[in-house]
Every structure is written in structure tokens, then in C-alpha cells.
């Protein structure tokens, strides 16, 4: 990605917790990036990280396609922390012994600290602490130069260390909340072992991104895809600070929005922001392009393509527009990329995999290195109203992917009403800001019910 900050690289072996590791390290003031486990050594040298973390994995180190990093990774002379599968991969690559366990260890376990180490700075020898385990294989012999620094009932090598080479491995997951002092262990690896002292912060990100945008865009105009959500609002506001009125915030009514959303967006963003808002009604165009399509992946790509077509047409009207800005986030990028290992592409994100390969506009994605909580923090620093900051996430393809099966105007109206009722009831109960996301999904089936003592046979909607 390229950054001015000292970086920790997390190699993803397919763990469900990989993004959580990145978020935890950033919470500790360290900038982190996730990369596929098979990243080339040359690319790692370009990034020049101060430390590397091997994530967990659902794989066994003995499986035929077990994910492993390049052996040359140990020639980089960079501190490494292996977590769960990452510990097993580290131990096996360096000459240790890993075997299948006769008893899977899953859930909480009591970890006993056996020896002092930089990784456990602040812990006392003989001390017990609760950790979270989730593994089948286990280390049964450590590589030369390592020592055992902690154990559990089922894992004699629950934590190992080579303080000289700064290689460490833990069988448990320090990134999850169930590990009592996990944050402390991660902090020790980052600060004590890797020597991070330059703090990552969203505030410093603002200054860097404004400078980057001005250098890249110059006096050209930028179309910003404004949906009304926090991500696009932050992008538009950030661009407004960087290039002022050359930011053209464009809101497209694609007919797939929530009830009264087009009206809310126009009222909210027409005044008080440092960018100009332009609204366009493309409802018929989008619904026509989606006619007969039922596959969700096909829907995403169709909507992404149609958005780009509209933006490119509007760019001609504005004149001198070369760039399209959108609110792609870091998880969007990660979810849209298969790392050729156990983790596969689950869906194409409309901002990433849903875009056509040939585009006339150049993309600007200032938030593609940030997680959602960081974007909310950024929005507050930029002075964006709290009602926008705390708005529930809404996908770019809109209600199209919350309608299972074909999209029709009738089905859209049903889901809009259902979604409106759900949101209103949550607000009345005072739970809106306590719930990260709540919405309805319209199923392609009808169900028998009762209304006014009479039988009904109506559409079924799932509340999530």
C-alpha cells in the first residue's frame, strides 16, 4: 500500500482473526498491513516492516497445501511472532517438531509462565493467566535456540522464544478478548521486541492524505461517489479540505436505497460542507440493468459497472475530471482478494471486485487503509455530525443484495417498508447506537401467518 509510518506486516494464513490482529495492533498505536502468506521477499524488503506476525489458520502444517511463507523470510533479520498455526509454521520451518494432538484444545485455558522473556515483560515467573486456544496440531519439539516460556495442561510448548533472533510463538490467540492479557503481550512484541516508538494515529493520517491528494490531483476535478453513509461522507469532506470546490460530490439515486434516503441525503449534505452536492435520478436505468438477475455476485458486478458508467457520463458534463473518489475500506480490499490459501474470495466488493476492468476515470480511495472504527474517528476529527458518524452501514449495492432472488419494484417497496419499521423500532427502544447493524432481508418465499384472526399468505422477511 505504501505508507510513511513504521509498519508491522501480518501474513494471512487464512485465520478468521487476521483482521482482528491488525485492528488490535493499530489500537496500540502501530500501523499494520495484512498481506498474503506467500508475499515475495522483494516485496517485504520494499515495505521494510519493523516486525512480522504469522496469523493462525484452519490448516494443518501437514496438509498437502499447507500455507507457508518463503524460507528466505528468516534472512530479513526482522522480529517474528507466530500465533497458533503461525507458531507451528515457525517451529517447523526452523527445525522443530509439530504433531497432531490427541485432544483438540478449544476455548479458555490456563497458561502458566515458565520463564522470563521480552514477550512476557511485566509477567511473573510461575504466574497463571487465562488465554484462548483453538488448535488441533501442537508443537512437541522446539527449534535450536528457542526456550519454552509458557505452557498449558494440553500444550507443553504454549509459548516459545528465541530472544537473540527475536522470534516468538504463542499457541493461543492474544488478539481476542478472551485472552486476559493479550493486549499486553501484543504491546510487548510491538514496543519491547520490535521497538516501535512512532505512534500511528488517525490525526496524522489526515495530514498525510491531504498532502497526497493535492500532489496527485493538482488542479483537476474529482467526482466523489456520495451515498450518505459515513465512509463516503468522510471521503468527500477530506477531499473538500484538500482541493475545495474541485470536489464534486455526486449522489446517484439507483432505486435501491432505503425509504426516503434520497431526500435525507439531499437535506443533510446540501449545506454546511466544504464540497458541492449534485444529485441524479438513475432509478429506471439501474432497475432495468438488474432485470432477471438473481445471483448476488452478478448483481454486485452489474451495479458496480452501472455506477461507473453514470459517473463517467457526469464527468464529461463537469469537464476536466480525471478522478473518481470512493469510500473503499481496508476490509473491502481484503474480502475481495483471495490469498491463494485456505481463505477464498467470499464476495466481490462493489468498490473493488465489482468495478469494470476498463475505466476512464482514475480511482482515488483515501480510506482503503482504514478500518470502520478508524473511519468513524476520522469523521469526528473532520467535524462531521454525529448522526452521520453513527449511521448504520449500508452496502453500495443497496437493497439489491438484501433481496434474495430477482429485484422488482414491488419487492423493493416491501423491503423498504420493513427496513424502515426495523430502524424506527430500534431507535424508539434507544438501542440504535448500541447495535452495529440491523436490517431486513426479503426471502423469495411466502409464509402462512395470522392477521386479525384470519389466515394470511405473505412474503417472508428475515430480521438480522
Q: Residue 53's domain is classified under what CATH number?
A: 3.40.50.880
In percent, how much of the chain has pLDDT > 90? 67
162 shares its domain with 189 = yes
For 335-374, give one letter per residue: b (16+ CB within 10 A) or e.
bbbebebbbeeebbbbbbbbbeeeeebeebbbbbbbbbeb
215 shares its domain with 296 = yes
32 shares its domain with 132 = yes
In a domain, 49, yes or no: yes
Say whether pLDDT at 350 is over 70: no
Between the CA atoms of 97, 101, 105 and 109, what dihedral angle is there, to the nearest 10 degrees?
-50
User: Do 153 and 171 contact (CB within 8 A), yes or no?
Assistant: no
349 shares its domain with 443 = no
Say whether pLDDT at 377 is over 90: yes
In a domain, 403, yes or no: no
Q: Quick one: average pLDDT of 237-243?
A: 95
Q: Give the pLDDT band (50/70/90) at residue 346.
A: very low
137 shares its domain with 252 = no
Say whether pLDDT at 184 is over 60: yes
Say whether pLDDT at 366 is over 90: yes
166 to each of 11, 74, 119, how far by Cα in Å?
17, 11, 9
99 shares its domain with 135 = yes
Q: Is 146 exposed, middle or buried (0-12, 13-18, 19+ CB in 10 A)?
A: buried
Say whether pLDDT at 63 is over 50: yes
Tens-place pLDDT, residues 14-34: 998 999 999 999 999 999 999
Domain range for 96: 7-193
CA–CA separation, 397 vs 431, rounded Å? 26
**What CATH number corresponds to the domain at position 453?**
3.30.300.10
228 shares its domain with 371 = yes
Say whether pLDDT at 271 is over 80: yes
Tell me how many domains the chain contains: 3
User: Do 12 and 55 contact (CB within 8 A), yes or no?
Assistant: yes
Q: Give the pLDDT band (50/70/90) at residue 401.
A: very high
CA–CA separation, 380 vs 56, rounded Å? 34
Q: Give the pLDDT band (50/70/90) at residue 60.
A: confident
In a domain, 32, yes or no: yes
Q: Which positions are catalytic?
A: 84, 173, 175
Q: Strand ranges (DSSP E) for 235-284? A: 247-253, 276-281
Write the CB contacts of 344 (distance below 8 Å, at least 6 apart in sequence): 338
pLDDT at 355 (0 to 100): 57
In a domain, 53, yes or no: yes
User: Do 314 and 223 contact (CB within 8 A), yes or no?
Assistant: yes
63 shares its domain with 188 = yes
Say whether pLDDT at 453 is over 70: yes
Say whether pLDDT at 98 is over 90: no
pLDDT at 164 (0 to 100): 96
In a domain, 1, yes or no: no
Q: Give the pLDDT band (50/70/90) at residue 344.
A: very low
C-alpha cell at 336: 475481495
Mean pLDDT of the chain: 89
116 shares its domain with 148 = yes
In a domain, 404, yes or no: no
Q: Give the pLDDT band (50/70/90) at residue 74.
A: very high
Tens-place pLDDT, residues 198-223: 788 888 889 889 999 999 999 999 99
Residues in the chain, total = 464
Which one of 193, 227, 248 terminates a domain? 193
Top pLDDT among 351 and 251 is at: 251
163 shares its domain with 224 = no
In a domain, 401, yes or no: no
135 to each of 44, 77, 106, 108, 339, how far by Cα in Å?
28, 28, 6, 12, 21
Which one of 372, 395, 418 terminates a domain? 395
In a domain, 421, yes or no: yes
334 shares its domain with 423 = no
Which one of 193, 213, 236 terminates a domain? 193
Q: Quick one: average pLDDT of 339-357?
A: 49
Top pLDDT among 294 and 336 is at: 294
pLDDT at 161 (0 to 100): 97
Amino acid at each position: 500500500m505504501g505508507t510513511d509510518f513504521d509498519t508491522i506486516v501480518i501474513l494471512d494464513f487464512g485465520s478468521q482473526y487476521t483482521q482482528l490482529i491488525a485492528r488490535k495492533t493499530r489500537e496500540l498505536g502501530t500501523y499494520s498491513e495484512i498481506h498474503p502468506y506467500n508475499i515475495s521477499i522483494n516485496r517485504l524488503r520494499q515495505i521494510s516492516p519493523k516486525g512480522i506476525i504469522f496469523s493462525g489458520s484452519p490448516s494443518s502444517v501437514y496438509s498437502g497445501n499447507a500455507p507457508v511463507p518463503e524460507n528466505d523470510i528468516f534472512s530479513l533479520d526482522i522480529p517474528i511472532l507466530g500465533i497458533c498455526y503461525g507458531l507451528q509454521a515457525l517451529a517447523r520451518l526452523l527445525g522443530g517438531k509439530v504433531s497432531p494432538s490427541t485432544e483438540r484444545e478449544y476455548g479458555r485455558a490456563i497458561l502458566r509462565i515458565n520463564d522470563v522473556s521480552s514477550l512476557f515483560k511485566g509477567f511473573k515467573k510461575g504466574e497463571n493467566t487465562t488465554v484462548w486456544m483453538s488448535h488441533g496440531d501442537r508443537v512437541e519439539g522446539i527449534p535450536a535456540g528457542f526456550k519454552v516460556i509458557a505452557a498449558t495442561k494440553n500444550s507443553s510448548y504454549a509459548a516459545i522464544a528465541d530472544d537473540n533472533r527475536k522470534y516468538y510463538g504463542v499457541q493461543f490467540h492474544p488478539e481476542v478478548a478472551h485472552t486476559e492479557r493479550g493486549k499486553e503481550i501484543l504491546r510487548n512484541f510491538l514496543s519491547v521486541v520490535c521497538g516501535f516508538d512512532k505512534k500511528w494515529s488517525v490525526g496524522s493520517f489526515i495530514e498525510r492524505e491531504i498532502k497526497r491528494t493535492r500532489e496527485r490531483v493538482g488542479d483537476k476535478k474529482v467526482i466523489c461517489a456520495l451515498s450518505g453513509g459515513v465512509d463516503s461522507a468522510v471521503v468527500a469532506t477530506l477531499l473538500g479540505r484538500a482541493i475545495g470546490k474541485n470536489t464534486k460530490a455526486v449522489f446517484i439515486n439507483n432505486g435501491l436505497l432505503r425509504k426516503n434516503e434520497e431526500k435525507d441525503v439531499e437535506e443533510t449534505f446540501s449545506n454546511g460542507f466544504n464540497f458541492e452536492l449534485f444529485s441524479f435520478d438513475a432509478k429506471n436505468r439501474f432497475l432495468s440493468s438488474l432485470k432477471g438477475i438473481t445471483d448476488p455476485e452478478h448483481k454486485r458486478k452489474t451495479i458496480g459497472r452501472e455506477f461507473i458508467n453514470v459517473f463517467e457520463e457526469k464527468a464529461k458534463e463537469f469537464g476536466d475530471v480525471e478522478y473518481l473518489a470512493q469510500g473503499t475500506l481496508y476490509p473491502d480490499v481484503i474480502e475481495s482478494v483471495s490469498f491463494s490459501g485456505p481463505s477464498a474470495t467470499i464476495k466481490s466488493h462493489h468498490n473493488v471486485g465489482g468495478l469494470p476492468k476498463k475505466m476512464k476515470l482514475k480511482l482515488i480511495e483515501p480510506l482503503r487503509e482504514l478500518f470502520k472504527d478508524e473511519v468513524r474517528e476520522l469523521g469526528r476529527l473532520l467535524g462531521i455530525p454525529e448522526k452521520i458518524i453513527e449511521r448504520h452501514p449500508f452496502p453500495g449495492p443497496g437493497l439489491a443484495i438484501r433481496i434474495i432472488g430477482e429485484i422488482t419494484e414491488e419487492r423493493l417497496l416491501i423491503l423498504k417498508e420493513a427496513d424502515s419499521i426495523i430502524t424506527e423500532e430500534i431507535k424508539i427502544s434507544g438501542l440504535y447506537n448500541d447495535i452495529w447493524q440491523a436490517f431486513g432481508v426479503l426471502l423469495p418465499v411466502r409464509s402462512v401467518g395470522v392477521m386479525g384472526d384470519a389466515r394470511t399468505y405473505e412474503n417472508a422477511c428475515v430480521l438480522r
